[in-house]
Amino acid sequence: MTGDTTDDATPGLGASQVVLEARELTKTYTNGDRPLTVLSDVSFAIDAGSTNAIVGPSGSGKTTLLGLCAGLDRATSGGVTLDSVRLDDLDEDGRARLRNEQTGFVFQTFQLVPTLS
C-alpha cells in the first residue's frame, strides 16, 4: 500500500466533503441614507468533521457571518451553500426548515422572555 492517490479513489475515503461554503459574502445595512458594510467579500469552505473557529474583535462581523451561514439573514451579495443546498435559493420557510433539520445554533445571549421562562 502506498500514499499515492488516484482519480478512482473512493469518495469519502481520504477525500474531504465541504459541508458549508461561503462565496463572496457581503452584508450591508442602511442607516438612513448611509450604507454600512459589515462584511465584504468573505469566502471560505468548511469540511465535514473539521473543527473551526471564527475569531475577531467586537464589531468585526462574526455574529453577522454566523447568521448568514445559518440562514437567519440574507446576504446583500454572495451566497452560502449548506449540505449542498444554496440558501439564497430558499424562501424564509425553506431556510427555517433547513435550520431545523441540519444546524444547531447557540446564541451569545439567550433572549428569553422573562414572563415565559
42-65 average pLDDT score = 94
State how far the Cα of 108 lies from the Cα of 112, in Å rounded to an integer.
Answer: 12
pLDDT at 14: 59
Q: How many CA atoms lie within 13 A of 1 on its CB side?
A: 0
60-72 average pLDDT score = 93
The model's pTM: 0.75
Range of the domain at 49: 18-102
* pLDDT band per the 50, 70, 90 thresholds, residue 102: confident
pLDDT at 117: 66
- Count, residues in the chain: 117
Structural domains in the chain (count): 1
Query: CATH code at 60?
Result: 3.40.50.300
- Least confident interval from 46-50, 84-88, 105-109: 105-109
Residue 116 lies in a domain: no
Residue 2 lies in a domain: no
State how far the Cα of 74 lies from the Cα of 80, in Å rounded to an integer.
Answer: 9
Cell numbers standing for residue 33: 441614507
Phi, psi of 70 (to 5 degrees): -90, -5
Q: How many CB atoms lie within 10 A of CB 57?
A: 6
pLDDT at 23: 98
pLDDT at 13: 52
pLDDT at 113: 75
Percentage of residues of the chain with pLDDT beyond 70: 85
Residue 53 lies in a domain: yes
Residue 70 lies in a domain: yes
Residue 7 lies in a domain: no
Residue 111 lies in a domain: no
Residue 112 lies in a domain: no
* pLDDT band per the 50, 70, 90 thresholds, residue 31: confident
State how far the Cα of 44 lies from the Cα of 36, in Å rounded to an integer.
Answer: 22
